[in-house]
Structure 1
Amino acid sequence: MIKDFLSCYIRPSPRHVEKRILRLVQHAWGNVPFYRSKMENAGITLADIKCLDDYVNKFPKTTSAEYRSYQQSTNSKGLIDVRLRPEELIEDRSSGSSGITISIHRTLRENEINRGRALWHLIRAGLRPWHRILAVLPPLQMARSDSTFQLFGIFRRTTVNYTMPIQEIVELIQRTEINVIYGQKSFIRLIADYFSTHGIPAPKLELLIPGAEKVSESDRKFFFDTFHPTRYCEFYGATETYLIATRLQNNYQPDYKAVFFSLVDTKLFDDLTSGSILVTSLINEAQPVLKIELGDRILARNYDKLYELGTTIVEVEGRNNDYLVLPNGDRISGATFYATLEYFPFMRQFKIVQESVDDCTVFLKISESSEENLTQVEGILMRLFEGKIRYKIKYVEDIPMDPNGKTRILTSNIDRPQIFAH
């Protein structure tokens, strides 16, 4: 792991990334039946993928739902290198944000590479060996063992998950004088809420790193108001590829030594490009991950410099399927609600729930319920909804997490054809 950590200081070249991807495609064609079948069904062979542009434009994409469904039906057979035995690999499972758990199998070597890279990103963000660390993780990703560094007493961490009582975690933070927190955003937010609502002084953190889901501007403001972190960073990643990008300042910087990405269904906004992200792991060979569509829409800068590794991610806009379906079949995207409701400095949290095509409920958690604030937020919601769909507003003390420990801001059980999206 130490060697992998040190290798992170070497910036990858576009040619190195291209050669690695071509090698992975060759490997998948020869040893991974799922991808060979995908290529054959698309009418292409190895001869058609000669450069990075060929890979981006010709290699078939796979949606996360398709990948998960195939895995469920075959128990991973066909996704893993046929020369390897799954029981000899390390299995990493997600908490199932789509409702279907996904498993990624890695060799010990691939797992060590990921550990080394994670440590490098944490240190780059500001983590130091003497910090008292709290890691907020999904239950399925709770550490089974300490890393090499932790066995020697440095970078030691306490792990918690969203099934544990908040009060116990807050008491643990106070008792052990935690000064670094990283992990799942929604649960970190619940911890911050507990400090705030119970009038308990929150610790001033040396470092705070939320991730695992979209972090909004209102999230960031609330974290700063509560924990006053000296250093702040965000991680964007997925079980399929591990860490994808880190946000140290205004943009997310992709980890091009470990991941390559491209966009589909793109829209241009001045010098920015919005699209659905397709990710490729440059590490996974035991179970390759090639052009998987995660279901996230992102906003990218300098997308025309993708092949030069010059593209950065400005924002993770939200899930592709975050839409409110109107009675006439039109849709309003979750991103619209983000952009509209995050404008208010008193907005702490919100969620839109649609159980029928004719009406929806907007749940709002606000910090100051003055008449002026209520008038503002109700006025803008009226402009969004009036004449389009019946709606009601409920002001609440808490908005609970979803069963997977995350919090979707828009839940719609309606499946109607799209005419256009706002």
Structure 2
Amino acid sequence: MALFAKLKERLLKSSSRLSKEVDAIVEEGASEAPAEVSGAGASAAAPASPEPRAPAPQPAPQVESAPVAPAEVTPAAAPAPAPAPAAEPEVPKKPGLLGRLMGRTAPSEPRRVLDDDMLESLEEMLIAADMGVDTALRVTANLAEGRMGKRVSSREIRELLAQEIARIMENVAKPLPIYPKKPQVVLVVGVNGSGKTTTIGKLASQFRAAGKKVVIAAGDTFRAAAVEQLQVWGDRAGVPVLTAPEGSDPASLAFDAMTKAEADGADLLMIDTAGRLQNRADLMEELAKIVRVIRKKDDSAPHNTLLVLDATTGQNALSQVETFKKLADVSGLVMTKLDGTAKGGVLVALADKFALPIHAIGVGEQIDDLSPFDPEEFAAALTGLDKG
């Protein structure tokens, strides 16, 4: 629960936004519900209204004129219509009774009929949260299945959304696999500022705590600041960082780092790469060269290629995955900066479109702020639910 509480706190922007918008959608429809129900719900009211009116004509004129009806029967007929109006309150009592299954306060909770207008509002909300059009349509369609025409509360909608999100993501929640091959080469790629360096430091710290011998290679040889930053994270994690002179060929460094890690008996070699934009062909070719050189040393390497994505980039993350998959054969994702965006739905869109394993999510700058991805906790945090 501590992990979930932290995740929910960091995803507060997303969860509060979705919660408020769902509340607004339900309350908007709930305020119009009485007029809609009495008109559209004529079918529901129809059976109720004939029942009280049917006995009404029978007792009044016919019972008094009938010779069999004495004075004692006449008062008995008078109370008979009295219970008939009592049947009217029982019609709207049905939703109230269903609501009481979840607690006595349920009847006071605003509820709205789930109709096409409400679904359209939910779709727009999810698209605005960077879930993408296709994923938003799929989520709302599954949510509506078997529930159209029923009155639902904001809480129920958020629970259904969380269930659908968790269902989409349950197959991609996988930790980074550890292989017996030594050294296991982990290539870390991503665009400028995505959080590659901090992710490497956090992962190295976690693997070292798990008893693995880890070596880091500072493959961003063009920026001295990047090398220095990685060395700081290496010191925090207690992991050595291999460097090369500024301006050196990063592919050569990767090759030398593999030789060094193998000689030292390291379990994992994590190779940082320069941040690059997916629309820069020269930089992307350089990344492809690193992969080719690594495979000269070990044709099965890199054993993992992690693409680090910045959650604040929104739908642009989809195009990044497509490009990096072609050049570096991406095997898994790490999503960072979820604490800095109100649009955490992009992670759902990525899972739905690519089905790549999501190994971890970053929700802060501290060394322990990289958490294994849990679909149920993420879905609950994203929709603002309490996980009990």
TM normalised by structure 1 equals 0.26
More helix by share: 2
Q: Under a length normalisation based on structure 2, what TM-score does the superposition of the two structures give?
A: 0.28
Higher strand share: 1
- Higher relative contact order, chain-length normalized (CA < 8 Å, sep 6+): 2
